[in-house]
Amino acid sequence: MAVPNDVADLTSLGFVEAGHWRLSDRHATGLTCELSCCSDDRVVYAVVSGNDVKYVGICEADTRTLKKRMNSYRSSRATKSKTSTNRRVREGIREILAGGSEVKVFALDPSTREPTPITYKGIEVDLVKGLENPLTRRFNPEWNRRSPRVLDEHKERREARRVNDRLQHKIFRAANRGDRQKLLDLGLNEDLAKAWLDKVSEVKAKTRDSRERA
């Protein structure tokens, strides 16, 4: 079975190697990106390690260049939210570099591939924005939150939480009834079953005392 090679797929679509990330003490985030081409172009870009596309992104605004977009990952001031894309991608890059592997940047400027503007009923199509979702679906990058891979992982975590919540509810009901055998049937060992029974008994006793004092 052939080993998937995202880099070969990228280059077949017209992406070129535009630069690489490296660890650096010059910036607070400990990272810097060195670009060899496309730095002043508005492009679709991919962050790559080995043969794997880790992230697909775009220079969204008309004036946003590849250099400015890479700088936003490097800058700590550009990241306030712990769940932001900048933070997620930056931490992923840093982890790979710290492990001794390379992180490269590939870029595609659609305007050089389609010199004549593509239109729909007289409206010019923004190819940079238009290519983001199809490329995300094609490569299924690990760091893209909207990729099928990540959506599946989120779905699995939500289902696991639902299963855990249902189990906790069944355990509480069994303990509230004092049903030791049911607790064992639900997978608890003797010590855990006893701990649940003792805890529920303690809560019931405190509740009775409170009512009597009232």
Asked if residue 111 and residue 27 are part of one domain, the reply reads yes
The boundaries of the domain holding residue 121 are: 6-143
At 27-60, the pLDDT tens digits run 888 999 999 999 999 999 999 999 999 999 999 9
Asked if residue 178 and residue 132 are part of one domain, the reply reads no
Tokens of residue 110, six digits: 């659609």
Give a yes or no: residue 124 inside a domain. yes
Position 151 pLDDT exceeds 60: no
Task: Please say whether the beta carbons of 106 and 48 come within 8 A.
Answer: yes
DSSP strand pairing (119-120 vs 123-124): antiparallel
From 91-95, 96-100, 165-169, the region with the lowest mean pLDDT: 165-169
Q: Which pLDDT score is estimated for 1? A: 44
pLDDT average, residue stretch 89-112: 94
DSSP symbol at 196: H
Asked if residue 139 and residue 58 are part of one domain, the reply reads yes
CA-nearest of 48, 49, 45, 29 to 37 is 45
pLDDT average, residue stretch 70-80: 75
Structural domain count, the chain: 2
At 124-134, the pLDDT tens digits run 999 999 999 99
**Residue 157's pLDDT band (boundaries 50, 70, 90)?**
low
Position 10 pLDDT exceeds 90: yes
DSSP symbol at 34: E
Asked if residue 124 and residue 80 are part of one domain, the reply reads yes
Q: How far is CA 65 from CA 70, 95, 131, 139, 142, in A?
A: 9, 25, 16, 23, 24
Q: Of 125, 143, 161, at which residue does a domain stop?
A: 143
Q: Of 143, 165, 187, at which residue does a domain stop?
A: 143
Give a yes or no: residue 51 inside a domain. yes
Give a yes or no: residue 1 inside a domain. no
Asked if residue 33 and residue 103 are part of one domain, the reply reads yes
CATH, residue 68: 3.40.1440.40
DSSP strand pairing (119-120 vs 103-108): unpaired
| Half-sphere exposure at residue 4, Cβ-oriented, CA atoms within 13 angstroms | 8
The torsion of the CA quartet 72, 76, 81, 87, rounded to 10 degrees, works out to: 60
